[in-house]
Amino acid sequence: MSFIYIATGFVVGVAALALLLMWVNAEDLASRKRSIKH
């Protein structure tokens, strides 16, 4: 039973990390576009 909890927590953590990286990359691209326009 504990293995299921560990596996679920690992998957959720990886998914959250991937979303965070995607969000940071999107923010970085947006700031670059703004700096190019200005």
Determine the pLDDT at residue 6: 96
Q: Please, which pLDDT band fits residue 36 given cuts at 50, 70 and 90?
A: confident
pLDDT at 4: 95
- pLDDT band, residue 14 (cuts 50/70/90): very high
Q: What is the pLDDT of residue 1?
A: 75
Evaluated on CA atoms 7, 10, 16, 20, the torsion sign reads negative
Q: What is the mean pLDDT of residues 16-21?
A: 97
- H/E stretch holding 1 reads none
What count of Cα atoms within 13 Å lies in the side-chain half-sphere of residue 4?
Answer: 1
The structure's pTM equals 0.62
